Amino acid sequence: MAKGELFKELPTWAKGVVALIVVGGAGVIIYTIYKKVSNITGNKDDRQQLNAEKDELKNMKPPPTISKGQAEAMANAIFVAFDGYASDESSVYTQFEKVKNNADWLMLSQAYGTREISSGKFNPEPNYTGTLIGACNSELDASERAKANAILRKNGVTYTI
């Protein structure tokens, strides 16, 4: 039996299933390539943002109320809250409550740097790589971002996510 004859002998529903698999596979490949390309261009923007924040932090008044070590611990806690299938928003809010001014926010952002957040094992969604603000935008929905911004605003932080 020739290759083409096998496909011709399939029932109509089976031909539809084969077509869906082929089209779906092509769509996944195209989406994966798109995300890889957008991550490459996004990394350049992330570096520029982090450098600008570093320069801004040097001249910030009032100075940070948290230490570099505290900022790193907070950044790690936020990363853990975002990494994997589901985000732990309450942990993120807890860390944001420790941010008391703009200098603290910049310290936290610098400590977070650029990280790759796993979307979860076997999840077809690609991992997210980016800064703290990008990670918040990727992992929190609009109402969760509004709550996070309210916490920051209450503490006198003018930066928003």
Give how far Cα 29 sits from Cα of 26, 129, 133, Å. Answer: 5, 19, 28
Please say if the pLDDT value at position 4 is more than 70: no
Looking at the chain, the whole-number percentage of residues with pLDDT higher than 90 is 50
pLDDT for 77-114, tens place per residue? 999 999 988 899 999 999 999 999 999 999 999 999 99
* pLDDT confidence bin for 125, thresholds 50/70/90: confident
Nearest to 159 by CA among 94, 102, 77, 119: 102
- Cis peptide leading into residue 62 (ω within 30°): yes
Q: Of 9-23, 30-44, 97-111, which gets the smallest average pLDDT?
A: 30-44
114 and 50 Cβ atoms separated by less than 8 Å: yes
The pTM of this model reads 0.66
Average model confidence (pLDDT) across the chain = 85
